[in-house]
Amino acid sequence: MNKQFYITTAIDYTNGAPHLGHAYEKVVTDTIARARRSLGQETFFLTGVDEHGQKVQQAAQAEGKSPKAYCDELAVIWKGLATTLGLTNNDFVRTTDERHKRVVGAILSKLHQQGDLYKDSHTGFYSVREETFLTEKDRNPDGTWDPKWGQVIELKEDNWYFKMGKHQQWLIGYIESTPSFVQPDYRRNEVLGFLKSQPLEDLCITRPASRLSWGIPLPFDPEFVTYVWFDALTNYITVPASLGDPAVCGPLGLATNNHQPSTSLWPADIHVIGKDIVKFHAVYWPIMLHAAGIALPKQILAHGWWQKDGTKMSKTTGNVVEPTAVINEWGLDAFRFYVLRELDIGPDGNWTDAGFKARYQAELANGLGNLVNRSLSMLKRYRDGTVPAPANDLSTDAARAIADVCGQLERNELQAALQSIWTLITRANQFVDQTAPFKLAKDPAQAQRLDEVLYNLVETCRIIAVLLWPFLPTTSCRINEQLGLTGAPDQFTGVHWGGLKQGHAIGAPAPLFPRKEP
Ligand code: MSP
78 lines ligand 1 (CB under 6 A): no
Q: Mark whether 37 and 183 lie in a shared domain.
A: yes
Pick the closest to residue 33 from 102, 85, 76, 68 (CA basis): 85
pLDDT at 258: 61
Q: Residue 12 C-alpha to ligand 1 middle, in angstroms?
A: 6
Q: Mark whether 111 and 238 lie in a shared domain.
A: yes
- Cα–Cα distance, 355 to 359 (Å, whole number): 6
- Cα–Cα distance, 151 to 433 (Å, whole number): 64
Q: Mark whether 86 and 191 lie in a shared domain.
A: yes
Q: Domains in the chain: how many in total?
A: 2
**Residue 505: how many other CB atoms lie within 10 Å:** 11
Residue pair 291/170 in contact (Cβ under 8 Å)? The answer is no
Angle between helices 395-410 and 20-38 (to 10 degrees): 120
* Residue at a domain's end among 281, 303, 325: 303
346 lines ligand 1 (CB under 6 A): no
Q: Give the distance between the most distant pair of CA atoms in the chain.
A: 92
Q: How many helices and strands, by DSSP H and E, does the chain display?
A: 20, 18
In 454-480, which positions are buried (b, 16+ CB within 10 angstroms) versus exposed (e)?
A: bbbbbbbbbbbbbbbbbbbbebbbbbb
Domain CATH code at residue 438? 1.10.730.10
pLDDT at 259: 57
Which numbered atom of ligand 1 lies nearest the CA of 272?
Answer: 17
Q: Mark whether 382 and 461 lie in a shared domain.
A: yes
End-to-end CA distance of the chain: 56
Q: Residue 23 C-alpha to ligand 1 middle, in angstroms?
A: 10
- Which amino acid belongs to residue 82? A
Residue pair 512/364 in contact (Cβ under 8 Å)? The answer is yes
Q: Mark whether 421 and 290 lie in a shared domain.
A: no
Q: Residue 6: beta bridge partners?
A: 44
276 lines ligand 1 (CB under 6 A): yes
Residue 327, in any domain of the structure:
no
Q: Mark whether 275 and 386 lie in a shared domain.
A: no
Q: Residue 155: beta bridge partners?
A: 124
Torsion angle, alpha carbons of 321, 350, 426, 27, to 10: -50
pLDDT at 314: 84
Residue 271, in any domain of the structure:
yes
In terms of residue numbers, what domain contains 148? 2-303
Q: Mark whether 279 and 425 lie in a shared domain.
A: no
Q: Residue 469 C-alpha to ligand 1 middle, in angstroms?
A: 26
Residue 503, in any domain of the structure:
no
51 lines ligand 1 (CB under 6 A): no
Q: Mark whether 112 and 242 lie in a shared domain.
A: yes
- Cα–Cα distance, 416 to 340 (Å, whole number): 10
Residue 321, in any domain of the structure:
no
Domain CATH code at residue 146? 3.40.50.620
Q: Mark whether 146 and 12 lie in a shared domain.
A: yes
pLDDT at 128: 79
Q: Residue 275 C-alpha to ligand 1 middle, in angstroms?
A: 9
Instruction: Per residue of the chain (518 residues), give pLDDT as tens.
Output: 789 999 999 999 998 889 999 999 999 999 999 999 999 999 999 999 999 998 899 899 999 999 999 999 999 999 999 999 999 999 999 999 999 999 999 999 999 999 999 999 989 998 877 777 898 889 999 999 999 999 999 989 999 999 999 999 999 999 999 999 999 999 999 999 999 999 999 999 999 999 889 999 999 999 999 999 999 999 999 999 999 999 999 999 998 866 555 679 999 999 999 999 999 999 999 999 999 999 999 999 999 999 999 999 987 888 999 999 999 999 999 999 999 999 999 999 999 999 999 999 999 999 999 999 999 999 999 999 999 999 999 999 999 999 999 999 999 999 999 999 999 999 999 999 999 999 999 999 999 999 999 999 999 999 999 999 999 999 999 999 999 999 999 999 879 999 999 999 999 999 999 987 65
273 lines ligand 1 (CB under 6 A): yes
- Cα–Cα distance, 327 to 422 (Å, whole number): 22
Pick the closest to residue 9 from 60, 50, 58, 70 (CA basis): 50
Q: Mark whether 351 and 297 lie in a shared domain.
A: no
- pTM over cut 0.85: yes
